[in-house]
């Protein structure tokens, strides 16, 4: 392999000749050979957009010339278009400020721009990183990337799930099924009411995500190294936030207190907490559905799920609730991520939190996994979910808990005795109720009509 020599403040470094990165990126590759987790592509894109917008604002504020601004914007647009594959190779497990990833972008943009210009016009620090510090660009990239994935990927997926659950709810209003509490028979409800509870859970989680992610719209840019804004022109942070809002169509704003914006990651922890709440709801829904679909003959068997693939390598004809299982695993991953996010957010020291790459990795993984899993579950499970009306009616008619409707007429104790006797004798409630002499056949039929109980 051929190499070229690059320099930074520590001296000379050999860099592969075909790569656009510079000395600091190469040092990071050498010093952090840890794991296989690379910086998320959303962070790279967010930083490229930040560099582009900063160049434009620097020009408007008189601290960067037109030629350099144009070169920076041209390269950033190319990065945003998906080019420069393989030029952003750094591990998540690097400096906690994300400095090396910030410099990776600065170096690639500078070297690429210089090649386009045919002369050394751009310096990674003096021009591409002008008016910035890693300490304000990386938190800004984290907020920008996390908020964007939530708004443009996760929220639409949840809206799709809500719509599908709404369709199922409307189609099953006439279906009566057994309620269950403590995994035991309870009183009847409509299947639409059960589905409606799932829909309301997702709707509530979506509301929580929207409200909790508002803090992500506050951006740290303009704070530079510690929050004072040293080396940034007056109004820089506000101007950058305004331009980022235009570029993204999202109402980003400059954080009022830049010291908090660098030192605290409470907005990120709060937003991720709403993702954990969603994960808890999704796990509950997935478990309900796979319980109801259990069987098909030796379980509840009250619903059928799409047969998307063979379920067993040894048992022919077996079909498993695989979408429920995938959604459940994603939910648990998000819950685990939330523990790491909470710990990381608590560990800011003085003027900077230095767990930023971990926060970026976990938050973006959670948001992307939830969005993908919700979309898959909606299309490949909910869309094909069908009630087994015969089985629901059979279970309903066999239930002892219809006796609950007799309590106002004959009292709790007598109703309990009828249910107990029917269970012990393997007889029906109706048979034992009539034997008791407490009710006539007409009274029993009137009181235990499931449609009147829901």
Structure tokens at 388: 């087994």
Per-residue pLDDT reduced to its tens digit, 278-313:
999 999 999 999 999 999 899 999 999 999 988 888
Per-residue pLDDT reduced to its tens digit, 138-189:
999 999 999 999 999 999 999 999 999 999 999 999 999 999 999 999 999 9
Tell me which residue of 130, 138, 350, 96 sits closest to 230, measured CA to CA: 130
317 pLDDT above the threshold of 90: no
Structural contact between residues 352 and 263, judged by C-beta atoms closer than 8 angstroms:
yes
Per-residue pLDDT reduced to its tens digit, 186-235:
999 999 999 999 999 999 999 999 999 999 999 999 999 999 999 999 99
Give the pLDDT band of residue 134 (cuts 50, 70, 90). very high
Domain ranges of the chain: 3-130, 143-178+190-222+256-390, 400-453
Q: Determine the pLDDT at residue 312.
A: 87
Orientation of helix 134-149 relative to helix 236-248, angle to 10°: 20
96 pLDDT above the threshold of 90: yes
DSSP, res 38: B
Q: Determine the pLDDT at residue 88.
A: 98
Q: Distance (Å, rounded) from C-alpha 166 to C-alpha 159?
A: 10
Q: Domain 3-130 falls in which CATH fold?
A: Fumarase C; Chain B, domain 1 (1.10.275)
76 pLDDT above the threshold of 90: yes
Q: Determine the pLDDT at residue 251.
A: 98
Q: What is the mean pLDDT of residues 332-342?
A: 98
| Mean pLDDT over each residue of the chain, to the nearest integer | 97
Q: What is the mean pLDDT of residues 92-96?
A: 98
Give the pLDDT band of residue 271 (cuts 50, 70, 90). very high
Give the pLDDT band of residue 1 (cuts 50, 70, 90). confident
CATH number of 400-453: 1.10.40.30
Q: What is the mean pLDDT of residues 446-453?
A: 92
Give the pLDDT band of residue 36 (cuts 50, 70, 90). very high
Structural contact between residues 229 and 258, judged by C-beta atoms closer than 8 angstroms:
yes
Burial of 25 (0-12, 13-18, 19+ CB in 10 A): buried
DSSP 221-288: TT-TTTSS-TTS-TTHHHHHHHHHHHHHTS--EE-S-HHHHHH--HHHHHHHHHHHHHHHHHHHHHHH
Q: Distance (Å, rounded) from C-alpha 335 to C-alpha 344?
A: 14
Percent of the chain with pLDDT over 90: 95
Q: Which residues are catalytic?
A: 182, 312
The number of beta carbons lying within 10 Å of the beta carbon of residue 117 is 15
109 pLDDT above the threshold of 90: yes
Q: Determine the pLDDT at residue 311.
A: 87
Structure tokens at 285: 């829904």
CATH number of 143-178+190-222+256-390: 1.20.200.10
Structural contact between residues 216 and 275, judged by C-beta atoms closer than 8 angstroms:
no
The CA distances from residue 22 to 27, 71, 83, 445, in Å, are 9, 18, 18, 83
419 pLDDT above the threshold of 90: yes
């Amino acid at each position: 392999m051929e190499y070229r020599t690059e320099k930074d403040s520590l001296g000379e470094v050999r860099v592969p000749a075909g790569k656009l990165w510079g000395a600091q990126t190469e040092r990071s590759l050498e010093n952090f050979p840890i794991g296989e987790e690379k910086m998320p592509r959303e962070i790279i894109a967010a930083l490229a957009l930040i560099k582009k917008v900063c160049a434009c604002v620097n020009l408007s504020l008189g601290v960067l010339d037109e030629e350099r601004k144009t070169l920076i914007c041209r390269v950033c647009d190319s990065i945003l278009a998906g080019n420069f594959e393989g030029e952003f190779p750094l591990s998540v497990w690097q400096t906690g400020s994300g400095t090396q990833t910030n410099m990776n972008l600065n170096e690639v943009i500078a070297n690429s721009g210089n090649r386009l210009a045919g002369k050394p016009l751009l310096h990674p620090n003096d021009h591409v990183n002008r008016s910035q510090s890693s300490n304000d660009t990386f938190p800004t990239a984290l907020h920008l990337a996390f908020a964007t994935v939530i708004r443009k990927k996760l929220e639409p997926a949840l809206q799709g799930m809500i719509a599908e659950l709404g369709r199922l709810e409307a189609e099953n209003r006439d279906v009566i099924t057994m309620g269950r509490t403590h995994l035991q028979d309870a009183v009847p409800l409509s299947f639409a009411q059960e589905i409606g509870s799932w829909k309301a859970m997702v709707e509530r989680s979506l509301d929580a995500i929207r409200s909790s992610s508002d803090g992500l719209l506050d951006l740290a840019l303009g704070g530079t190294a510690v929050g004072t804004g040293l080396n940034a022109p007056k109004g820089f942070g506000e101007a950058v936030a305004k331009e980022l809002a235009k570029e993204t169509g999202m109402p980003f704003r400059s954080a009022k207190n830049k010291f908090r914006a660098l030192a605290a990651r409470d907005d990120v922890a709060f937003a991720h907490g709403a993702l954990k709440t969603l994960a808890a709801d999704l796990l509950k829904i997935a478990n309900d559905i796979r319980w109801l679909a259990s069987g098909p003959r030796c379980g509840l068997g009250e619903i059928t799920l799409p047969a998307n693939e063979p379920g067993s390598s040894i048992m022919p004809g077996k079909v498993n609730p695989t979408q429920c299982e995938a959604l459940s695993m994603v939910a648990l991953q998000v819950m685990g991520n939330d523990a790491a996010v909470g710990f990381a957010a608590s560990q800011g020291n003085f003027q900077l939190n230095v767990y930023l790459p971990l926060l970026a990795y976990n938050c973006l993984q959670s948001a992307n996994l939830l969005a993908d899993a919700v979309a898959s579950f909606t299309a490949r499970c909910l869309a094909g979910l069908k009630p087994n009306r015969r089985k629901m009616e059979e279970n309903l008619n066999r239930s002892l808990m219809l006796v609950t409707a007799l309590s106002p007429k004959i009292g709790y104790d007598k109703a309990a005795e009828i249910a107990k006797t029917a269970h012990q004798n393997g007889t029906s409630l109706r048979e034992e109720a009539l034997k008791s002499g407490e009710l006539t056949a007409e009274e029993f039929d009137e009181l235990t009509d499931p449609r009147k109980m829901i």
